[in-house]
Amino acid sequence: MSRTVRALASSALLLASLGLAGCSSGTGETVDLADGEALVWGDGPQGVVLAHGASYDAASWEDQAVALADAGATVVAIEDLSAEAVGAAVQRLRQVDGVEQVTLVGASAGADTVLGAVAEQPRLADQLVLLSPTDAVSDLPDQPKLFVASQGDPVAAASDEMAATSSGDDNELLLLPGDAHAQAIFETDQGDRVLDAITERVEDGV
């Protein structure tokens, strides 16, 4: 065995002993849910479910998921956009990870998926964060809610309407300059502001 091969083998053994084999820093762990695959980061006491936009995927949340995990959350990013997948992610957080409080975060089509999930199960989660939902929904449950949209986004009116009319006494609208839509906001100079607002809500709990 060459010196290089021995060194690689030694490194692999070290990584395996640390439980890091096959992982790169910040990369989520792929898990199977009852309804599709998901990526999981962290092991903190607060739970977060992330539902991506139509032109994104679960891995697109990595930067935000790592930040939330570093802040003390267990984060599950679903791949399939369905109410069933959202429910399965919440079930995993509560039954497997032992999380008591769950925040649902959805972006664009993912926000609409979250709204569909809570329409079916109003007490599914403890709070909602919705980035650029495309349609206003009435009769939302009374959990705390944060609506995020850019002023120039054509769908911003839906966030404005839901923040003003939803039940509950903790409904906040974060209306941002610019016209970035949903997850694209994280690529602008407003990205840190939005991530900070989400992180603060998750850390504070309900």
Please report the domains of the chain, with CATH numbers, ordered by start residue.
23-204 (3.40.50.1820)
Task: Say what the pLDDT of residue 138 is.
Answer: 87
Q: Is it the case that residue 158 has pLDDT exceeding 70?
A: yes
- Between 168 and 22, name the one with better pLDDT: 168
Q: Is it the case that residue 55 has pLDDT exceeding 90?
A: yes
- Between 39 and 4, name the one with better pLDDT: 39
- For 100-138, the pLDDT digits (tens) are 899 999 999 999 999 999 999 999 999 999 999 999 998
Task: Say what the pLDDT of residue 26 is.
Answer: 55
Distance CA 81, CA 101 (A): 21
Task: Say what the pLDDT of residue 21 is.
Answer: 32
Q: Is it the case that residue 8 has pLDDT exceeding 50?
A: no
Rounded to an integer, the average pLDDT of 60-82 is: 97
Extended strands (E) in 42-170:
46-51, 73-78, 101-107, 127-131, 145-150
Rounded to an integer, the average pLDDT of 142-165 is: 97
Q: Is it the case that residue 160 has pLDDT exceeding 60?
A: yes
Share of the chain above pLDDT 70, in %: 86
Q: How confident is the model at residue 81 (pLDDT cuts 50, 70, 90)?
A: very high
- Between 3 and 194, name the one with better pLDDT: 194
Distance CA 55, CA 132 (A): 14
Average pLDDT of the residues of the chain: 88
Q: Is it the case that residue 2 has pLDDT exceeding 60?
A: no
Task: Say what the pLDDT of residue 100 is.
Answer: 87
* Long-range pairs, 159-168, Cβ under 8 A, ≥24: 159/130, 159/132, 159/133, 161/136, 162/130, 162/133, 162/136, 162/137, 165/136, 165/138, 166/140, 166/142, 167/139, 167/140, 167/141, 167/142, 168/140, 168/141, 168/142, 168/143, 168/144
C-beta of residue 47 within 8 angstroms of C-beta of residue 99? yes
* pTM of structure: 0.86
- Between 26 and 194, name the one with better pLDDT: 194
